Structure 1
Amino acid sequence: MIIRHVTVIDGTGADPIADAEVVVADGRFSAVRPAASAERADGDGPVIDGRGGYLVPGLWEGHTHLSGYLLQRPESERASFFTRLMADFVAAGVTSVTDLGGPIGLREELRGYLAGVSGPVPELLFSGPVFTGIEGWPVLDMKERASFAYQTDNADQAYRQALELADRVDFVKCVYDGEPGTPGKLPFEALKAIVAAAHEKGKNVVAHIHHRSELEEAVRAGVDGIEHAFLPDDAGSRAEALDVAALLSETNTYYCPTLAAWEQLGRSGDEAYLRELIDDGFLTEADVPQIISRPIWGRPFPHHPADECRVRLRYALDTLGYLHDAGVRIAAGSDIALALPSPPKALLRELRLLAEAGLPRASVLAAGTRHVAGKIGREATAGTITPTAVADAVLLDADPLADVAHLTDLAHHVGTLRQGRWDGELPGA
């Protein structure tokens, strides 16, 4: 396949390449070159006329919980729901989805649902069960999800479990959240042991944190990525953000703030919020009855009080610019779709919020592509439009570096390329 006369924004941070030709072979990008100097060889496959369009790397959902969406539905409906969800992700330009916690058999179950699907589907990457303390979060308030976690208070046991788990998953997740010294908090020595075991197996580790002190300890333990914007000790001070920015930059630790989650949890039950989402193009009037009928809408969410979520969101929106300016690699992940019609829309909302936090548009694109790939150790093979990278891309009809809405509004999406396969009709073929 060749995509010709397109402006390429390759995701590396380089300047856009105008009037380019992108060649795809065997599911990977094989060349990115000036269209004027290119000659098509026989057997190159279909040619897409990308004139007037912008080709960007396929988007990555950096933090979601697929099992959570499945468990909300009767077992008889799960296969059809999941195949529709995967089609919705591809239609939204999302070509890779990372699941941050579920039973060890989830990968095989979900791949089974997709076995008969003929169209492109996203790459699915899994952490498997998370590591937490004894009855720590999320088991603390959701005991029916005990299979989603290894509960441990012993570093030697954690090391052995992590060694075994690392062979079966794409990356490892730890929940480092709870009152220090209590059984529900994963001990620091156990966290270090898990990181050591996973790294020994060549797998990255991400850590769910709550407070700034937990972020700092997780970084000291050697984790590769931090999940969730931290709760500051003093929301009126920017000093904490500056300290965190320096730490994450110095250690090359990725940061996934999940702004969309804090927004939704902090404003659950607020109908004015739904109106704002409609005005921003993330909801329609027709979506509202379905949103407000959800059992969790307007009810307290376990472990995350609404007022605290609003503080985390506001502080992150006000200070993410400091992290960006310090060189911190910020990754996009939505976590939940409580007030949004679908998980893909939640990711697009996350990208819009990152722009509202002051990230330059090129950095928003990096957050939704190569930085997620890097967080889980895939930066060498995915997240960019460069030779040998997996051929995942989105063709847009307007410049996402001029307006982030050109990336987040599906009206601007022409089509999605997933492993060299085009979703939908081939324009200009």
Structure 2
Amino acid sequence: MIIKNVTVIDGTGSAPRPGMDVTIADGCFTDIRPTAAETAAAPGGHADDQVIDGRGHYLALGLWESHTHLTGHAMALPEAERVPHVRQQLADYLKAGITSVCDLGGSAAYGRMVREAGQPGTAARLFYAGPCFTGPKGWPLQVHGDRTMALETGSAEDARRAVQNLVGQVDFVKCIFDGKDGQRLPPAALEVIVAEAHTAGKKVLAHVATGTDVRDAVHAGVDAIEHAFVPQDPADLSEAEQAAALMAEAGTLFCPTVVTWEQLGHSGDRAHLDRLVADGIITAEEAAEVAARPSYGKPFPHHPADESRIRFEYAMRTLPLFHDAGVKLVAGSDIALVMPTPASALLRELQLFAQAGLPGLEIIAAATGRAAEKVGKHDAVGTVTVGAAADAVLLDADPLKDISHLIDPQHHRAIISAGRLAQR
């Protein structure tokens, strides 16, 4: 496959490159060079390759959902339905232009089964953490109680044994480092998990609740912070400034999951659904379906609505601050509580990034190359560069001028997964 005369947005945060010919073979990008006048095959291609005219179009890396929970939620289904259910969700992600999905807490065995059940190019790629580390009786065991989803860890030695057993089964490691209720994973255990995972070449992500959690997790050496934190004083931006300076200096990535706090803070609020309709994320029919769900408007365990609204509003105010400080932001949605599909939640996250004032190139990097970097897959999957896996979206309008050109399927001329044109 050759895409001719297209503008390449490579996912690294670099400026777009117009007038490029992109050759794809054997599931990878094999050549990217300035457009030639003739349509002969570029080096690495063949004379009978499919040629796509990319004039006036933009080739961006396929989007990444860098924080969700597919296998964990599937455990509530009958056993025979679990793998097909997750595979269907991954296929739905791909139809939305999301070519890679990171599962941040669930069964490692089911993650492996889901991955082995699919054919390349038919669904989004799955990367998974398996069970997350948590403190004694910590979140999420307080609510779910499912031992396939979490590893209860009370000491550094417990952590060492558990992480050594886990790292060979998963793509990266997730830790619940939530300081609420006095049941946080011990800092010494987190340090051991980070050291052992890094020795095995695996990244470590830390779920946090407070600014103190952020500080301690960064000092422990984690690779990414998951979730915007609860500020001590919502009117005071200095706590965010301090966190941003610390994370920028350490090179710690930040996945704020702003859409999580928007949903949890506004569940039951029909005006919020109306805003989603007005913003083009859901339709009026989908809003009615969401409002009819038995769970709609009910309190969510561990995250009160008023606290979630504070997290949402503080995150929206401080995202530009983190960006200006040099913190690498990453896009992830976590939940789809008031969304018709999980994919919708990620698209809303990108929209919220834009509403917070982040520039388009930053948003695209956060939803592509940065997400791959977060889980240690940047070289293999995370860029439109020679040798990387060919996952991409061909757009008919410039996503840097308007983020809707990236998230609205009407602007998707083609979706490419593992070097193949995906069925839409």
Q: How many residues align?
A: 420
Q: CA deviation at 1:46?
A: 0.9
CA contact (8 A) 1:61 1:333 kept: yes
* Alignment match, 1:25: 25
Q: Does structure 1 conserve the Cα–Cα contact (< 8 Å) formed by 2:120 and 2:418?
A: no
Residue 30 of structure 1: SS of its match in structure 2?
Answer: strand
Tell me how far apart the structure 2 counterparts of residues 380 and 106 of structure 1 sit (CA, whole Å).
Answer: 26
Of 136, 139, 142, the residue aligned with 1:140 is 142
CA distance 1:79–1:13, change in 2 (3 Å): closer
- Equivalent position of 1:11 in the other structure: 11
Q: TM-score, normalised by structure 1?
A: 0.94
Structure 1 residue aligned with 2:193: 194
Matches within 5 A, 1:115-264: 115=118, 120-143=122-145, 145-179=146-180, 182=182, 184-264=183-263
- Does the 8 A contact of 2:121 with 2:416 survive in 1? no
Q: Tell me how far apart the structure 1 counterparts of residues 333 and 113 of structure 2 sit (CA, whole Å).
A: 23
Cα distance in 1 between the residues matched to 2:162 and 2:80: 33
Gap runs ≥5 in structure 1: none
Q: Structure 1 residues 342 and 72, CA, compared in 2 at 3 Å: closer, same or farther? A: farther
Gap regions ≥5 residues in structure 2: none
C-alpha distance in 1 between matches for 2:168 and 2:147: 21
For residues 185 and 13 of structure 1, the distance between their equivalents in structure 2, rounded to whole angstroms, comes to 35
Equivalence for 1:54: 58
RMSD over equivalenced CA pairs, Å: 1.7
What per-residue deviation string (whole Å, max 9, x for no partner) do you get for residues 134-184 of structure 1? 1100001222x222111011101101211111111000000001347x4x2
Q: How does 1:27-426 map to 2 (within 5 A)?
A: 27-36=27-36, 40-41=40-41, 42-43=46-47, 45-71=49-75, 73-75=77-79, 77-111=81-115, 114-115=117-118, 120-143=122-145, 145-179=146-180, 182=182, 184-424=183-423
Q: Is the 8 A contact 1:258 1:332 kept in 2?
A: yes
TM-score (norm 2): 0.95
CA contact (8 A) 1:249 1:328 kept: yes
2:113 maps to a residue whose letter is E
CA drift of 1:13 comes to 2.4
> Is the CA contact (8 Å cut-off) linking 2:72 and 2:107 kept in structure 1?
no
Maintained 8 Å contact 2:9/2:17: yes
- C-alpha distance after superposition, 1:22-46 (max 9, x if no partner): 0112111111112235652344521
Partner SS, residue 169 of structure 2: coil
Aligned-residue offset at 1:394: 0.4
> SS of the counterpart of 2:380?
coil
What amino acid sits opposite 1:138 in the alignment? Answer: P
The whole-number CA distance in structure 1 between the counterparts of 2:75 and 2:151 is: 20
Measure, in 1, the Cα distance between the counterparts of 2:380 and 2:84. 31
Distance 1:225 1:16, change over 3 A: same
CA distance in 2, matches of 1:168, 1:126: 9
Q: Which moved more, 1:341-350 or 1:103-112?
A: 103-112
What secondary structure sits across from 2:148 in the alignment? helix
**408-417 vs 7-16, which moves further:** 7-16
Letter in 1 for 2:361: A
* Contact kept in structure 2, 1:97 and 1:125, CA below 8 Å: yes
DSSP 3-state at the match of 1:233: coil
The Cα of 1:106 is off from its aligned counterpart by 1.6
Instruction: Give per-residue Cα distances to partners, 1:233-267, cap 9 Å, x unaligned.
Output: 11101111111111110000000000111111100
1:380 aligned counterpart, secondary structure = helix
Sort the Cα spacing of 1:240 and 1:157 in 2 relative to 1 into closer, same or farther, 3 A.
same
User: Identity over the aligned pairs, expressed in percent?
Assistant: 48
